[in-house]
Amino acid sequence: MVRLGRRRRSPGPDAAHVVVVGAGFGGLATLRTLAGGGLRVTLVDQNIYSTFQPLLYQVATGGLNPGDVAYPIRSFTRKYGVRFRRGALTGIDAAAQRVTLADGGQLGYDYLILATGVSAAYFGIEGAAKNSLALYTRRDAIALRDHLMAGLERLSIADEQDKRQDNVVVTVVGGGATGVEIAGTLAELRNIALSAVLPEVDPARVHISLVELGPDLITPFQPALRDYAKQQLARRGVDVRLGTTIREVGPDSVVLADGQSLPSEITVWAAGVAAPAAIEDWGLPQGKGGRILVQPDLRVKGQERIFAIGDIALVEDAPLPQLAQPALQCGRHAAAQIRRLLTGQATTAFSYHDKGIMATIGRRSAVVQLPRGIRVRGTLAWLAWLALHLVTLMGNRNRISALINLSWRYLAWGHGGGLIVGDDPQEPGTR
């Protein structure tokens, strides 16, 4: 790894040009592997920062500042001798080996790596996209936080008549790791922090529900850990509804398949992911959820010079979990394949090394599932989760700030601390 600020020798104009689209886990892992190899590398992203998505729910519930989970891309590209081009990908001309950006700019490439990530999947449910809040970008997290805090402030100034009628009802749709984490943290905010921050608000007027289509929460985990997660949410006062199908999402309600209407002032959508609609214009083969179909070596089907990695890529015969670790490994593999192709070698198939999965339910409560049958839950799992996420954050400033804010949240919630609110200044059009 090269120290920040050290100058690299720029590759010559005849060096192969690799364009990487997307500054998430996969894209940045690709750049690290390509750096210093005599290639011209350009990173394209519509934002000027990379977002650490696993902690967005902490931003949404006021535990972290938006800046704690964002790292400036140019600091990274300068460190690794890579060019950064801000822009959104709108078109790919595979024959001419050229991409087009939203501002009309074009970039030629010798190899192209798509690591754009995904967005929420609404499965055709009426009103879901319009009336719910997703949690995939920094802007999503800020919007959810502001909706939540506005609802609590409304309760704090309600007159006596309103107090008998008005409530804040939050419905989380989806029982995966994101849904469990946001529901658990919202419940703790209500149970612990609310009486200290807004003592005039009765916590009983804040209702948290989690609705899941399947029979279990966090299905990638062992059954005992799934049951533990459900029990912990119930202990925190979350109304968990399993095996429940949603027919429609309205501005203030969620309508179930059986016709029952559940009040829902804030509906958080964490029920699945799909490729952004813009990918349809790229002319690449798509599979389930609109994700790009790739060969075992991660090259896009039918393409010799285009790779797709991370959540946007789909290996039909061996789909990968949509987590950070597969994206990191895919990024390193794609970069290694480009080096092989440039030296006349054949590519190799990608093989995922499972390092385990984890999810947190709340303070001193998490589940960890590691290879070889290792299962951990409770305080030890929570400490492991906290340590891993702090270590994997990019930038020392982010790590220190997140450590301070999370420590303050978990130590001082009951004393009026640990709740970060306020506007987040950002450039127009950024997310």
Query: DSSP characters for 70-130?
Result: EEEHHHHHHHHT-EEEE--EEEEETTTTEEEETTS-EEE-SEEEE----EE--TT-BTHHH
Contact status, residue 142 vs residue 66, Cβ threshold 8 Å: yes
**Which two structure tokens, joined as six digits, stand for 193?**
């922090």
Burial class (CB in 10 A: 0-12, 13-18, 19+), 78: middle
Calpha distance 389→139 (Å, rounded): 20
> For residue 148, what are the β-bridge partners?
none
CA 144, 387, 137: angle at the middle one, nearest 5? 25
Q: Which residues of 392-416 are buried (b: 16+ CB within 10 A; e: fewer)?
A: ebbbeebbebbeebbeebbeebeee
Phi, psi of 288 (to 5 degrees): -55, 135
Q: What angle do CA 299, 302, 308 make, to 5 degrees?
A: 30
The rounded distance, in Å, linking the Cα atoms of 16 and 109 is 8
Helix (H) or strand (E) holding 161: helix 160-163
Tally the C-alpha atoms within 13 A of residue 136's C-alpha that lie toward its C-beta. 21
Q: Helices 223-235 and 177-188 sit at what angle, rounded to 10 degrees?
A: 30
| Residue in 126, 153, 160, 181 annotated catalytic | 181
Question: 153 an active-site residue?
Answer: no
* Catalytic sites, residue numbers: 181
